[in-house]
Structure 1
Amino acid sequence: MPFTLATWNINSVRLREPIVQKLLQEEGPDVLCLQECKSPVEKIPVEGFAALGYRHMVARGQKGYNGVAILSRLPIEDAGEQDFAALGHARHVAGRLENGVVIHNFYVPAGGDVPDRDVNEKFGQKLDYLTAMRDWFHADKPEKSVLVGDLNIAPREDDVWDHKKLLKVVSHTPVEVAHLAETQEAGGWIDITRRDIPEGKLYSWWSYRARDWDAADKGRRLDHVWATPDIAGAGHSSRILRDARGWEKPSDHAPVFATFDL
């Protein structure tokens, strides 16, 4: 059962319902994982998505903050969630497709502005969240699984517009990159996007602060698609839909796609 999956930090699913529908209509992924939905589950506008064929959803939400949802036109069952680092945030949900593939949808804490946990509680929470993810994957090795989401870290030098300038900027600091690498290694996860697109600058996020984000192109690759080794070989056709960053009332993130022939 081949399926195409997309992951997108939507920055309010209700505010940006029109562009979610645009993506579903124009690109037609079988599964769309959304982060930062900023909505209780019962207020996610499921009727419009169902009318486009996306009749299945597993989600966790809260009012005004965080929130993760998996929309699917394929049957999918709720496979639970984890409250990593006991933050009490809606940052993870898992769904299981009929072919047995488990999809983990994550929204890792952004970490605030100062990369020092002694003066910035949010940065400490981010590191603790990643450590808890790592420990969970060590204890319960994932199989036949895909992990997607806004992991809020750009790990490689070519995942940011200027490696040296961003070494002390939250999302690209060495301590964050090391924590993400440990988390990836613990689960044996393979970065499908970079396996498919191994060379060159690659971004999925551009700040709202840039007057002309497209021309400045000061991006970061914060959104990821990983897979366990047993199914990673079935993944292909990775791409980032950069154009979506320029749609009307856009998110500051662009959707990331991959297809799996399973």
Structure 2
Amino acid sequence: MKFLFSFAPTFSTRLINSLLTRFTLCLFTLSLIGCAFHEPVPNPITVTAPEAPSQDEGLRKEIDRLEKIIAEKDKIINNQNIRQENQAQTLQKVNKEATRTQIKLHRLATKPSTASAIAETEVILENLKQVQIPAADKILQVQAHHLVETASVLFTQDQFASAMNYIAQAKHLIDLITHPGNKKTSDENNHFFEFNTPIQLHTRTNVNLRTSPSADAKVISALKKDTAVSANASLGSWLRVHLDQKQGWLFSAGLEARENNDP
């Protein structure tokens, strides 16, 4: 029995040592196998990035690009301006030609009729001189004569439209003389009537613009010689005139038709 107990520890120790030896051999073997199949780790590849352009170079490129765009736009604008100038010149030339043509046609169309109207009115006025007419109508006769004279002057200046306007006013005055029923009467001696077309006159001398057709009426303002007025009515020897937003009465002897001016 003592022998058995003394042998047991020895056997256990040997067994443990044997197992440890085998385990160590296994680990060693595995280590060798791992070394045999271990691939070397490749060296990392270093990629060199291209150098970024400097800030100044980027600005120069952007400026060049913008300058090209501006140059292209300027070229387009210049071409458009040239086309517009050519069109404007062509249009202006056409308008001038059209205006000259209209003026020429106007002269050809109105010159004979204006000459005929002036001659006809002059004949009527000459016939009125042979007729006894009221004193109030003599003022109208004188004014009509001045209007015809002015129309004749305008005719020589080829202002046919203006001449016809004066003739129309003269004919209106003649009509009032020859047809008394067309007048608005205020009493038996004086006749008040309004002109269909205002008569452009100017003062012969310094005169007073009055509030009513009377030498005793209040003076509105004093008018100097050659003051332009527009007569729109008559009462006896007085004419109602308008100027500078004022209206009053002037004695007809101090007025005459304006010459060398459009009505």
Give the TM-score, by structure 2 length: 0.18
Name the structure with the higher strand share. Answer: 1
Larger radius of gyration: 2
Give the TM-score, by structure 1 length: 0.18
Which structure would you say has the larger RCO, counting Cα contacts within 8 Å and 6 or more residues apart? Answer: 1
Name the structure with the higher helix share. Answer: 2
